[in-house]
């Protein structure tokens, strides 16, 4: 049998400055293309687990295998290779607001570019690079924002730029940390629907921490639950192939079109 895309084995994480371990004995597998919601009360350790998975905080012990390769979670040398295959959408968007949208989108390509390439892109982007940014922006419905300053976009639009940046990275795994926490319910549905549909189209696995259990149920066939640093639940709803439900607003639009 093929190995899972991600295997987390007895991971223990104690970030610098923390007196005790924040994640303990965390083990789970994730298949390629699988979508999982990570739920649990505030302070449960969701953000810390996601940070350990993307290598931004070292683990104290345990093992992370990605695509059949063991990544020593406490070795910083492994981080660049690991990060290249894992895209991150943080809770608070982390766009560079004074720069243009295409700069932010193509930040997803930095892992495969040299420093000299990145510097040249900042001042003299090539047509092919702008074309790649444009294609990603069209997929998130922002085809007209290529040259806008990132800081002039609304919160929902900035979140979609972060999704476009993740797509440009061509990751195996996308980690989203409460990506809709700052959006109103309608925009939250639309953002999750978009995120899940694009991940499904590209075969990208997703781990998405969420506060709202109803959103977790609606968009994620599997839910992992954390409490006080430990996994306390792991449920897969059914064995049908994963498909993304339409967001409510889109359903209405579709109904209106059909009427
Ligand atoms: N670097 C750190 N130093 C000290 N405490 C930390 C650190 N990072 C996280 N914590 C603590 O770990 C607990 C879990 O945090 P977090 O992973 O952010 O949980 P969640 O995302 O589920 O709300 C919290 O009590 C938080 O204060
Ligand atoms: Mg958190």
Residue 41 in contact with ligand 1 by CB distance below 6 A: no
* CA-closest residue to ligand 1 atom 8: 15
Ligand 1 centre to CA of 18 (Å) is 8
Judge if the beta carbon of residue 42 lies within 6 A of ligand 1. yes
Q: List the domains of the chain with CATH numbers.
A: 6-94+171-258 (3.40.50.300)
For residues 121 and 139, what is the distance between their CA atoms, to the nearest angstrom? 22
Give the Cα separation of 51 and 57 in Å (integer): 6
Predicted pLDDT of residue 94: 87
Contacts of residue 101, defined as CB under 8 A and 6 or more positions apart, other chains included, come to 133, 137, 142, 145, 146, 147, 148, 149, 150, 153, 161
For Cα atoms 130, 136, 142, give the angle at the middle one, nearest 5 degrees: 95
Give the residue whose CA is nearest to atom 13 of ligand 1.
43
Residues that place a CB less than 5 A from ion ligand 2:
46-47
Tens digits of residue pLDDT in 52-105: 998 888 888 998 888 888 776 566 555 566 668 899 998 777 899 999 999 999
> Is any ligand 1 atom within 6 A of the Cβ of residue 90?
no
**Rounded to 5, what percent of the chain is helix, strand, coil?**
40, 25, 35
- Please tell me the pTM assigned to this model: 0.90
Q: Give the tokens for residue 228.
A: 């006080």
pLDDT digits (tens, 9 = 90+) for 3-30: 899 999 999 999 999 999 999 999 999 9
């Amino acid at each position: 049998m093929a190995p899972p895309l991600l295997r987390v084995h007895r991971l223990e994480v104690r970030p610098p400055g923390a007196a005790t371990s924040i994640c303990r004995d965390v083990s789970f597998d994730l298949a390629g293309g699988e979508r999982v919601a990570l739920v649990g009360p505030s302070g449960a350790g969701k953000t810390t687990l996601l940070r350990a998975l993307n290598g931004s905080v070292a683990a104290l012990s345990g093992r992370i295998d990605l695509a059949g390769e063991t990544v020593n979670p406490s070795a910083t040398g492994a981080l660049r290779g690991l990060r290249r295959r894992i895209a991150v959408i943080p809770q608070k968007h982390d766009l560079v607001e004074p720069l243009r949208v295409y700069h932010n989108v193509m930040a997803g390509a930095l892992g495969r570019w040299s420093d000299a390439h990145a510097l040249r892109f900042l001042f003299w982007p090539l047509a092919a690079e702008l074309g790649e940014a444009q294609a990603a922006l069209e997929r998130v419905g922002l085809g007209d924002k290529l040259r806008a300053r990132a800081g002039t976009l609304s919160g929902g639009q900035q979140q979609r730029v972060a999704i476009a940046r993740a797509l440009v990275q061509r990751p195996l795994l996308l980690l989203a940390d409460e990506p809709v926490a700052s959006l109103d319910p309608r925009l939250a549905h639309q953002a999750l629907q978009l995120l899940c549909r694009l991940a499904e189209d590209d075969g990208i696995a997703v781990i998405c921490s969420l506060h709202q259990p109803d959103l977790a149920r609606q968009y994620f066939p599997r839910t992992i639950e954390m409490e006080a640093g430990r996994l306390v639940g792991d449920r897969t709803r059914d064995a049908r192939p994963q498909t993304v439900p339409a967001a409510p607003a889109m359903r209405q639009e579709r109904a209106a079109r059909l009427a």
